[in-house]
Structure 1
Amino acid sequence: MISIDERPIGIFDSGVGGLTVVKEVINVLPKENIIYFGDTARVPYGSKSRELVYKFSCQIIKFLKEKNVKAIIIACNTVSSNCYEDLKKEFSDIPIIEVLKPGVTSALKVTKNKKIGVIGTEATIRSGQYERKLKEVLEGVEVYSKPCPLFVPLAEEGVIDSKITIDVAKIYLQDLIRYKIDSLILGCTHYPLLKNSIKKVMGDNVNIVDPAFETAIKMKKYLKDNNMYNIKGGNHKFYVSDKNDKFDFICSLVLKENHTAEEVSIEKY
């Protein structure tokens, strides 16, 4: 007999980027309730110290636990690559899934020439986690990494498919084109919002790898293995640390339905 666990899945990111993960979780697990938190007051995380990112993440997880979530997805590559193991130890009483390993899994499924590019925030690229994990699994893989810090503010501002975005992408991605990669990991959950512009620059011969789908599949497997499915839900609530109209706009753009986020004070946690 299936146990119906109506507690929500908690998902968080520094801002709007994690909505791309929410989208895939809804597609894969349409009956699950979701609580999303976007730290819009303190975005971006990628240029901040590891200690500060860890502090912010702890505050958010405490907030989500207060909302009685049954599992948490870190929909942020900066947090996943720099703080995941420490957060897992600190909050050992709740399952936490990150987006980095699913990104590696996705890239390994599609690469043919073993030349993989990774783009992300400065903190994610500096951690070297994608390169390490790819090389642990695939012998002979060549990994080329590039920080793209301007992509996050472009996504946050909703400038997602414009000449400005394409021009910035050309500057960042020209080296990766020269290395003849056949797969490019979007190592920041904001970056799928700019996917069209990135694709125009990289061309049709490069697989654009979004870790969001594999992350949703990993959560589905966890819920199935632990008999924690919800088969009669589908309610979604959104919280931010700073309320602005851009969040609601991006939310409706990504999820194809209107949602209004509620502002909460996160620094008390």
Structure 2
Amino acid sequence: MDQPIGVIDSGVGGLTVASELIRQLPKEQLIYLGDTLRCPYGPRPKQEVVEYTWEMVDFLLNKNIKMLVVACNTATAYTLDELRANLSIPVIGVIQPGARAAIKMTNNRRIGVIGTEGTINSKAYPLALQSINSNIVVNDLACPKLAPMVEEGNLTGSEAYDIVYQSLKPLKDKNHIDTLILGCTHYPLVKDLIQEVIGKHVHVISSGEETAREISTILSFNKKLYNGTRIPKHQFFTTGRLHVFESIANKWLQQPLGFVKNINLSEKSFNK
């Protein structure tokens, strides 16, 4: 089916999921929308996150997408059930795939989760993990400084390391986890720093690979995979600073973006 897959995120973090989608489903076209102007979503009230998420969804629905990927943990926690109940297309979040990947990796059944305040307060990960295995011990920690750091393009160097170290110190000092879920799609952009701080003995889990695998399965089951020969032309939209978005996206995707545009979601004038 020659329709694009829509991917939404509060900023650039969802590019980690988009990158994995491009790798696993090279024939599919993506339309990515990052609400970088209003990022991060984590500290925002639930109703505000719901409102912003629906604005992004409405924009992508006007692009005739065949599937919606909510590549933001906070938006997934707050809106996934509502989106699935109201949309006629498949809707995929990143929490369940991340939880399944972590359970596959853990040996001592002690799993850490780091995320935004919204994601951690929602308890979405403990619920997802313990619904699969009630013996899992979950240690979750809000890291409010990490997503803004990534949005600014601060991905390496001593300043970034110090922020990661101070953010993870309570988790590192407190418990003997053997697996850590990056419960925000921004965090894989600094995965190497996180691994260095938390220790090589800890499996660090990004949900992108597992999410892409689930998307492939669902599209195949619904007979919506594209099987033609055209070369995919991805589209990228951002509500914030274009040059910052392009810089991070080019670095992460390791290929030219092609079509990239700044938009204003509050205008409600979405052109097809």
Q: TM-score range by the shorter chain?
A: over 0.9
What does the per-residue CA deviation read over 1:11-42, in whole Å, with 9 as the maximum and x for residues that have no partner? Answer: 01011000000000011100001000011111
Question: Which residue identity lines up with residue 267 of structure 2 in the other structure?
Answer: K
Query: Match of 1:126?
Result: 121
Query: Match of 2:267?
Result: 268
Query: Match of 2:162?
Result: 167
Q: Is the 8 A contact 2:33 2:238 kept in 1?
A: yes
How far 1:265 sits from its partner (Å)? 2.0
1:32 aligns to 2:32 (yes or no): no
Percent identity (aligned): 37
Distance in 2, Cα, partners of 1:221 & 1:57: 25
How far 1:225 sits from its partner (Å)? 0.4
Query: Match of 2:199?
Result: 203
Q: Is the 8 A contact 2:242 2:261 kept in 1?
A: no
Unaligned segments of structure 1, at least 5 residues: none
Secondary structure of the corresponding residue to residue 262 of structure 1? strand
Q: Is the 8 A contact 2:5 2:29 kept in 1?
A: yes
What is the correspondence of 1:60-209 to structure 2 with a 5 Å cutoff? 60-91=56-87, 93-178=88-173, 179-209=175-205
Question: Which residue identity lines up with residue 141 of structure 2 in the other structure?
Answer: K
Q: Is the 8 A contact 2:12 2:36 kept in 1?
A: yes
- Give me the TM-score of the superposition, normalised by structure 2: 0.94
The more displaced of 62-71 and 227-236 is 227-236
Query: Match of 1:47?
Result: 43
Secondary structure of the corresponding residue to residue 261 of structure 1? strand
How far 1:174 sits from its partner (Å)? 2.0
Aligned-pair RMSD on alpha carbons?
1.1
How far 1:61 sits from its partner (Å)? 0.7
Q: How many aligned residue pairs are there? A: 264
Q: Is the 8 A contact 2:72 2:185 kept in 1?
A: yes
Secondary structure of the corresponding residue to residue 267 of structure 1? helix
Query: Match of 2:251?
Result: 253
The more displaced of 240-249 and 190-199 is 240-249
Question: Which residue identity lines up with residue 3 of structure 2 in the other structure?
Answer: R
Q: Is the 8 A contact 2:242 2:262 kept in 1?
A: no
How far 1:112 sits from its partner (Å)? 0.2
